[in-house]
Structure 1
């Protein structure tokens, strides 16, 4: 076995980014590499400082179903798409300075669904399975209870609007689907997306699409981008039986437009990527984009171009262009919603591509925001029952075989498998259970389903009940620091921005340090706030941004503020040492660009690495 000789800190870190262990070469990093890598990571950790600023803006990225296993698989998949081994890489949020875990159970279930979890992390209260925007007093299908405003839970999006901030939602699912709906709707059943689904059980209740268009806070959301035309009565193609259509004959997209014009706003409704790109944010107050009759197609199936559907990255950037106009700041929810759908069908190829698409959206957003005044949070609502199994060699295709054979049937098996789902494929010879040979199939075919142990119908693999991770950067990101209850997320975001339950109550402690903006008075902790009063279901639309609380445009919706401001003292995002930061920002892409993704397999040649990096490097910590 050959070993690389120590070169320098930069060279060794670079090797960690691009090395791939190939089946025949068995090349591994030497001990010096791991020593230097750990010392650089330690130095980066020692440079991290807590940001106690008030968040002017909050962006929540939600990977639907992106549990820890799916996140790990996506990290490896992303690296392998770049021609690397994959294990040594990272998703963009994995470089955030703060990380924690969230417990995802609901009031009535060990394993949750997306409706109850969205209610938790957006509204700050845990609810029951399949219910949205209501507290535990409302059980599944209880229309009468869900109509009682006492049981309604307001969301971080509504709190932001009440503080004079602009708001937006972006999703690859229908905009009436569980996660986005929790920002604005109150319902006893997540499937009540349109009136035809209310049926006998929902008589007297308002469907989710109707609530988005006619009720607060939905009617005041400045930018809404996703799928779901059919639920609005505005489908452009044949009826899709996986969603619901309107039985009342209404076209809610036109009602949405008329409402905005009637209240003196300029608004546009768009249905293609090209139409979205042509909208000028400077002369448009409201934007509604519905790019599919149901969900936006999977990234691997999405039609790009002017007449196609926009990517999650492009929708995110469009939303930010609209929301950054607000002098009071904004709240934006961005959901990579179809990660969940790929996993429900035991098709990890689809899910991993959706995860990488969300990675691209987060990276693009970070280029647009300032982490001194913008809190960026990335998390998942729940996990799935996918597992990374076997003992595959490093660099093995994450969508391929483990390299091992079963000692029972002598057949290989894939690295990614499921404990239940439609991917089961068993037969019997009367004595033994037999399964198919996955090596005889193309596991990267878009239709390939990984093997599952317990059979289910298509798209009905279940969620998992384990904790999910949460990553954060920006003001008060350090509040995410251990295992939390999932509903804690809404309260931490609210405290960061001084909105909702923390409006006027977000005093920072005496040891807090600030780098920008007015500093809330330090004060002893206040007693817990009283329960929120029932919302007024008939409330009038909010006035334009900045005047919701009678504030001038430069007023911050917080407690009386000291006039002291402190200068910027340290890097705004010191999660990496300068050496690692430079590599991640410049050299990794430089190497891949220079040699091509098809040829970047391993860097055992010292001359190649030095030629690309140069020799101006820091000395290793061990010297």
Structure 2
């Protein structure tokens, strides 16, 4: 009878002549509800949206390495809470982009990709095996000849052949998998310096990624490269890793009278982008440290500052440019179950995206934000809004308990070196989870957390951005970038 009563009263709202036997509870006015108001505003903006089908003068590809949907959500909340909000309604810069989709990231030999195939599929349009860069799926791991025969051109190289400029910015070493996806060709991502290249590979004609970057033909060589990895460009006599005795930074400086080498944040901030068209920034021996540890590493530049400087150099070319920007540390800190540092780098990526938008014309610049793969981070219930995202699940300040009467973390990992259940950590506390070097719990013990295999988000704005919607192969992203730039993707 209750359902019948409300059904009749609902009908009376439509046909007033139908009377209810009793008075229905009054309906509350939704018009003053903040979510309703926000929804209406979002709809009005969407209704005004007109796809930009023009030519892209510039393409900027942002990679949040290891940034799956859970990393975006938790990163958004942490960023909001850092700025004094509850976090859930905070908006990262790229979340304002008008077009979104999902990318399938698998490799030709594995359900779950590594960063090498992950980026290579995006920059070449063809997927390959895990560990390989700039080669097709015929490549065999640690096999030099198959890499030489399977080489495929990257979109950065194609942009250079068209007369555009190209560059790479990263918080990892510049010879790591994702940045090398712009210029590198190898079956084995670990062949980063000559000391890491096997004798048989050298004999077969392969060279390391540091040399590939510096010694590429002038018409495809990167104009700007910024990140870490100084040790892979300098000889052992200079505390580097090169056994051939070569200092590749000197080779870089010889390519142009205005070529520059930057080593510190001070040098970067003093650098005039109009003074050079060939800039190499190597700000650490290996990967760049987390901005959380800025006090111990005062000369490490921020990703946003490197991005702005790189765009300043690339914009000198009136024909346009291609730029790959990677927030590598999302992945690197996830690997050790350090959720705090991993999620901080989601916000660092957001800041870099905002800097890129401020430095370019939105009508002529296609900006894409995506990931090469995900990670096994989960966000589980049921914690009250406003509770620290890095802490225990709590409701009104009281811990939520599992079936064994133990508290649990809001954020957990499927794999990794974190504590593995209550036998390892019988007293999980808020203080432990929010400590400076906390490791969040993981289910399966591994020295380094495994990547996740689920689809990753794609955010896009600018010319041809409307083509990046729905569920797509990661290799399809290349097709959109090439189409936007007017590149013949078959060459």
Cα offset, 1:324, TM superposition = 1.1
In proportion to residue count, which structure has more helix? 2
- Label 1:392 to 1:216 Cα distance change in 2 as closer, same or farther (>3 A): farther
Q: Which residue of 1 aligns with 2:143?
A: 142
Which of 283, 287, 290 is matched with 1:295 structurally? 287
- Label 1:389 to 1:46 Cα distance change in 2 as closer, same or farther (>3 A): same
Summarize deviations over 1:68-95 as a string: whole Å, max 9, x none.
0000001111111111111011111111
Give the Cα separation in 1 of the matches to 2:202 and 2:312: 40
Which of 305, 328, 334 is matched with 1:343 structurally? 334
- Label 1:156 to 1:408 Cα distance change in 2 as closer, same or farther (>3 A): same
- Does the CA-based 8 Å contact 1:235-1:293 persist in structure 2? no
Q: Which residue of 2 aligns with 1:512?
A: none
Summarize deviations over 1:316-356 as a string: whole Å, max 9, x none.
01011111111101111111011101100001100111111
Q: Which residue of 1 aligns with 2:262?
A: 270
- Label 1:43 to 1:462 Cα distance change in 2 as closer, same or farther (>3 A): same
Q: Which residue of 2 aligns with 1:379?
A: 370
1:410 aligns with 2:405: yes
Give the Cα separation in 1 of the matches to 2:151 and 2:424: 52
- Label 1:303 to 1:296 Cα distance change in 2 as closer, same or farther (>3 A): farther
Q: Which residue of 1 aligns with 2:27?
A: none
The equivalences for 1:538-617 within 5 A come to: none
Secondary structure of the residue that 1:450 maps to in structure 2?
Answer: coil
Q: Which residue of 1 aligns with 2:427?
A: 437
Summarize deviations over 1:213-238 as a string: whole Å, max 9, x none.
11237972111110000111168986
* Structure 1: stretches of 5+ with no match in the other structure: 1-28, 240-244, 428-432, 502-530, 533-623
- Does the CA-based 8 Å contact 1:54-1:373 persist in structure 2? yes
Give the Cα separation in 1 of the matches to 2:115 and 2:357: 26
- Does the CA-based 8 Å contact 1:63-1:358 persist in structure 2? yes
1:107 aligns with 2:97: no
1:251 aligns with 2:259: no
Q: Which residue of 2 aligns with 1:318?
A: 309
Q: Which residue of 2 aligns with 1:389?
A: 380
Give the Cα separation in 2 of the matches to 1:351 and 1:237: 32
Secondary structure of the residue that 1:313 maps to in structure 2?
Answer: helix
Secondary structure of the residue that 2:116 maps to in structure 1?
Answer: helix
Equivalent pairs, count = 456
- Label 1:450 to 1:247 Cα distance change in 2 as closer, same or farther (>3 A): same
Which of 498, 514, 528 is matched with 2:486 structurally? 498
> Following superposition, which runs of at least 4 residues in structure 1 exceed 6 angstroms of deviation?
none
Give the Cα separation in 1 of the matches to 2:482 and 2:220: 21
TM-score, normalised relative to structure 1: 0.71
Which of 273, 277, 283 is matched with 2:275 structurally? 283
Secondary structure of the residue that 1:366 maps to in structure 2?
Answer: helix
Summarize deviations over 1:449-472 as a string: whole Å, max 9, x none.
001111011xx1000000000000
- Label 1:313 to 1:434 Cα distance change in 2 as closer, same or farther (>3 A): closer
Which of 358, 363, 370 is matched with 1:367 structurally? 358
- Label 1:30 to 1:417 Cα distance change in 2 as closer, same or farther (>3 A): farther
Summarize deviations over 1:433-486 as a string: whole Å, max 9, x none.
5643221633222311001111011xx100000000000000000000110000
Q: Over aligned residue pairs, what C-alpha RMSD do you find? A: 2.0
- Does the CA-based 8 Å contact 1:132-1:188 persist in structure 2? yes
Summarize deviations over 1:151-177 as a string: whole Å, max 9, x none.
111111011111111111100000000
Summarize deviations over 1:338-383 as a string: whole Å, max 9, x none.
1101100001100111111111111111111111111111111110
Summarize deviations over 1:233-286 as a string: whole Å, max 9, x none.
1689867xxxxx21111111111112x14xxx4111111111122222223221
- Label 1:360 to 1:84 Cα distance change in 2 as closer, same or farther (>3 A): same
* Structure 2: stretches of 5+ with no match in the other structure: 1-29
Give the Cα separation in 2 of the matches to 1:338 and 1:200: 32
Give the Cα separation in 1 of the matches to 2:320 and 2:202: 39
Q: Which residue of 2 aligns with 1:9?
A: none
Give the Cα separation in 2 of the matches to 1:192 and 1:283: 33
Which of 438, 442, 458 is matched with 1:470 structurally? 458
Cα offset, 1:111, TM superposition = 0.4
Give the Cα separation in 2 of the matches to 1:138 and 1:437: 49
- Does the CA-based 8 Å contact 1:266-1:284 persist in structure 2? yes
Q: Which residue of 2 aligns with 1:451?
A: 441
Stretch of structure 1 that moved more, 47-56 or 203-212: 203-212
Give the Cα separation in 2 of the matches to 1:81 and 1:407: 28
Give the Cα separation in 1 of the matches to 2:192 and 2:267: 25
Cα offset, 1:30, TM superposition = 9.2
Give the Cα separation in 1 of the matches to 2:311 and 2:296: 21
Cα offset, 1:409, TM superposition = 2.7
Cα offset, 1:304, TM superposition = 8.5
Secondary structure of the residue that 1:78 maps to in structure 2?
Answer: helix
